[in-house]
Copies of this chain bind each other. A is one copy, B any other.
Amino acid sequence: MKKNIAVIKGDGIGPEIVNEALKVLHVIEKKYNHTFQLTEVLAGGAAIDATGNCLPQESIDQLLASDSVLLGAVGGPKYDSQPPENRPEKALLRIRSTLGLFANMRPAKLYPQLREASPLKDELVDEGIDFVVVRELTGGIYFGKHETWTENGQETAQDIMKYSTAEIRRIAKVAFDTAMVRRKHVTCVDKANVLDTSKLWRRTVREMAKDYPEVTLDFMYVDNAAMQICRKPSQFDVILTENMFGDILSDEASMITGTIGTIPSSSLGETSRGMYEPIHGSAPDIAGQDIADPLGTILSVGMMLKYSFGLEQEAEDIDRAVNAVLNAGYRTPDMMSEGMKKVSCHQMGDLVATEI
Give A residues with C-beta under 8 Å from B.
84, 87, 89, 93, 118-122, 124, 141-142, 144, 146-148, 151, 154-166, 191, 193-197, 199-200, 203-204, 222-224, 226-227, 229-231, 244-245, 247-252, 254-256, 260
Kindly report which residue of chain B lies nearest to residue A169, judged by CB atoms. Answer: B154
Inter-chain contact B255/A230, CB cutoff 8 Å: yes
* Chain B residues in 8 Å Cβ range of A157: 162-163, 195-197, 199-200
A54 shortest CB reach to chain B, Å: 12
Knowing A191-B244, A231-B119, A248-B222, the reply to whether A196 touches B159 (Cβ < 8 A) is yes
Given contacts A157-B195, A158-B196, 9 further A-B contacts (CB under 8 A): A119-B120, A119-B231, A120-B230, A141-B141, A146-B196, A154-B165, A155-B203, A158-B197, A159-B194
In Å, the complex CA distance between A146 and B194 comes to 9
* Chain B residues in 8 Å Cβ range of A191: 244, 247
Knowing A157-B162, A164-B154, A230-B256, the reply to whether A223 touches B196 (Cβ < 8 A) is no
* Chain B residues in 8 Å Cβ range of A256: 230
Inter-chain contact B164/A155, CB cutoff 8 Å: yes
* Chain B residues in 8 Å Cβ range of A203: 155
* Chain B residues in 8 Å Cβ range of A247: 191, 222-223
Kindly report which residue of chain B lies nearest to residue A200, judged by CB atoms. Answer: B157
Q: Name the contact of A199 in the complex, choosing from B84, B118, B254 (C-beta under 8 A).
A: B84
Knowing A121-B120, A155-B165, A159-B196, the reply to whether A251 touches B224 (Cβ < 8 A) is yes
* Chain B residues in 8 Å Cβ range of A204: 155
Q: Name the contact of A158 in the complex, choosing from B120, B161, B193, B244 (C-beta under 8 A).
A: B161
In Å, the complex CA distance between A151 and B162 comes to 12
A108 shortest CB reach to chain B, Å: 12
Inter-chain contact A159/B223, CB cutoff 8 Å: no
Inter-chain contact B154/A166, CB cutoff 8 Å: yes
Task: Please list the 8 inter-chain residue pairs (A to B) with the smallest Cβ-Cβ separation, ordered nearest first.
Answer: A227-B255, A146-B196, A226-B252, A223-B251, A158-B162, A157-B196, A157-B200, A154-B164
* Chain B residues in 8 Å Cβ range of A151: 164
Knowing A156-B164, A197-B158, the reply to whether A248 touches B226 (Cβ < 8 A) is yes
A203 shortest CB reach to chain B, Å: 8
Q: Name the contact of A162 in the complex, choosing from B120, B156, B193 (C-beta under 8 A).
A: B156
Kindly report which residue of chain B lies nearest to residue A125, judged by CB atoms. Answer: B121
Residue among A161, A165, A247 having the largest count of chain B Cβ atoms under 10 Å = A161
* Chain B residues in 8 Å Cβ range of A197: 157-159
Kindly report which residue of chain B lies nearest to residue A92, judged by CB atoms. Answer: B193
A168 shortest CB reach to chain B, Å: 9
Inter-chain contact B248/A231, CB cutoff 8 Å: no
In Å, the complex CA distance between A166 and B227 comes to 31
In Å, the complex CA distance between A187 and B289 comes to 29
* Chain B residues in 8 Å Cβ range of A120: 119-121, 230
Inter-chain contact B148/A200, CB cutoff 8 Å: yes
* Chain B residues in 8 Å Cβ range of A249: 226
Knowing A119-B231, A154-B166, A165-B154, the reply to whether A146 touches B195 (Cβ < 8 A) is yes
